[in-house]
Chain A
């Protein structure tokens, strides 16, 4: 199973602050995803990214969220102005081909105070 790493493992921030969550890529993976899981709830899709473009985004992924893969390096999720309800575990997932398994990272626990 391809290793997927995410940094940081835990981020604590004040409401209204910007946070950037990072997912370390594997060069031959083309498809990237962000999901989140609020404590005690199910995993929810946020956004998918293919060929350096957003493929699909959910209703959760509003203007406060953005993703990018600058210079083909880390795949990042930015939250511009965090809210209390953004507190959750955020998972990055990567997929090598169109019909393939999504492998998840260990997650970043975001706590907004």
Chain B
């Protein structure tokens, strides 16, 4: 069974500080990994994704994530946080094969608070 663990429920950082949100996954085959962001009352916006290739992936809004197979991790990072980054961040894992829809399994999310 696939699963995602986001160990940090709530993180507070100062504006301008660096950020790292942790994500560990369990998946039986080659995982496809995603980070989504959700502002209060809003839908899920894709930040970045990893399917294959370069293990360091760049996303929108200055975010990046690194896939580490040996650690089953896909941590999200940003070098300098902006107040507008305050939101809920979800890591998700899925797979994919032709002819079969593949569900995403989400972590419980990390709520990011940014102080000025």
Question: Residues of A at under 8 Å CB distance from B?
Answer: 1, 31-33, 35, 41-45, 48-51, 55-56, 58, 91, 93, 95, 98-107
Contacts and interface: CB of A to CB of B under 8 A. Distances in A.
B101 to A, nearest CB: 4
Contacts, number: 67
B74 interface: no
B42 interface: yes
A99 B96 contact: yes
B26 to A, nearest CB: 15
**Chain A interface helix/strand/loop/mixed:** strand
B46 A42 contact: no
Contacts of B98: 98
Interface of B: 32, 34, 36, 42-46, 49, 51, 90, 92, 94, 96-109
Given A91-B44, A99-B32, A106-B43, A50 B94 contact: no
A31 to B, nearest CB: 4
Contacts of B42: 106-107
B2 to A, nearest CB: 10
